[in-house]
Amino acid sequence: MKILDTKFVQGFIKMANDGYLQGWHERNGGNLSYRLKTDEVESIRPRLMDHGQWHPIGASVPGVAGEFFLVTGTGKYFRNIIVDPEASIAIIEIDEKGENYRIRWGLVEGGLPTSELPTHLLNHEVKKRTSGGVHRVIYHAHTTNVIALSFVLPLQDEIFTRELWEMATECPVVFPKGVGVIGWMVPGGRDIALATSRLMEQHDYDAVIWAHHGMFCSGETFDLTFGLMHTIEKSAEILVKVMSMGGRKLQTIRPDDFRALEPQFHIELPERFLYEKEDPAEIGGPAKA
Ligand code: 2HA
Ligand code: ZN
């Protein structure tokens, strides 16, 4: 089957373009990866190249050894993916040790996979294991309002999660496990990759905020992963508006209100996000004991 005509490549291109249209991918900002299913690999195998050089990943990912990923290229612009996908994205294969990759398709004008490949692959490794193999998509975007909040909210998972949850009733339903936050770090390397994947593992977060940079989301499908990014960023936009209107809430969703959502939506909300505030009108952390 023609690689460009496959459902997963078409879904990838649509998601990348949807993100561009949201304004999350200025210049070459952001990156996207998808872990192929076995039958998807088989359906395109005759059209894959097999003379590509092996390159070090920069991290060790034995949990995804031998797997194939569709990824955006480093330095490539999301706005060009829909126009010229074969020059902007690539299918890579991971070697049997999980130490190296090689390009099997795409990037026809040259280039390499996303600079955030270590974070993508470490997160794929964690999520493949903790989701029983169903998570396949990792998405990084430069979400404007989430970035803005990372300058004014304390960089704590509890505070970001609680404030984002309060901004829209659907939020605790869409991301009941909350969001992780890491402070500013150098992007593109092993350290930020390990910090992100540790949060995705320890708390089973599907979303991690990188302060002053953007967000990483993991999910089962393109729709669910894009929807998660979109929901969190929309909630951040509401919070930015509330803070811009003076920041004092006259009324809000309270801890017992969140608890009342649990049976209705079959979710469990960790109590560490449902703290009482000194003043419920305030944005921020728990009441001092
Ligand atoms: O330029 O977003 O984090 C791609 C990136 C790096
Ligand atoms: Zn980035």
Beta bridge partners of 207: 217
pTM, entire model: 0.97
Give the Cα separation of 222 and 160 in Å (integer).
24
Cβ 187 under 6 angstroms from ligand 1: yes
Cβ 30 under 6 angstroms from ligand 1: yes
* Residues measured by CB to lie within 5 Å of ligand 2, the ion: 214
Residues in the chain: 289
Residue 90 contacts residue 9 (beta carbons within 8 Å): no
Token pair in block for residue 47 = 């059209």
Predicted confidence at residue 287, as pLDDT, reads: 86
Amino acid letter, 217: C
Q: φ, ψ for residue 69 (rounded to 5)?
A: -130, 140
Distance 81 CA to ligand 2 centre (A): 17
3-state SS string for 30-75: CEEEEECCHHHHHHHHHHCCCCCCCEECCCCCHHHCCCEEEEEECC
Cβ 93 under 6 angstroms from ligand 1: no
Distance 191 CA to ligand 1 centre (A): 15
Q: How are strands ordered across the β-sheet holding 55-56? A: 55-56, 100-106, 89-94, 68-72, 31-35, 137-141, 214-219, 207-210, 180-182
Nearest to 217, CA basis, from 199, 229, 202, 203: 229
DSSP of 201-218:
HHS--SEEEETTTEEEEE
Catalytic residue among 116, 163, 166, 233: 116
Give me the residue label for tokens 């909300």.
269
From first to last of the 289 residues of the chain, give the pLDDT tens digit: 899 999 999 999 999 999 999 999 999 999 999 999 999 999 999 999 998 999 999 999 999 999 999 999 999 999 999 999 999 999 999 999 999 999 999 999 999 999 999 999 999 999 999 999 999 999 999 999 999 999 999 999 999 999 999 999 999 999 999 999 999 999 999 999 999 999 999 999 999 999 999 999 999 999 999 999 999 999 999 999 999 999 999 999 999 999 999 999 999 999 999 999 999 999 988 987 6
Residue from 116, 191, 192 whose mutation best tests the ligand 1 pocket (most atoms within 8 A of CB): 116
Cβ 255 under 6 angstroms from ligand 1: no
Distance 28 CA to ligand 1 centre (A): 7
Catalytic site includes residue 116: yes
Cβ 163 under 6 angstroms from ligand 1: no
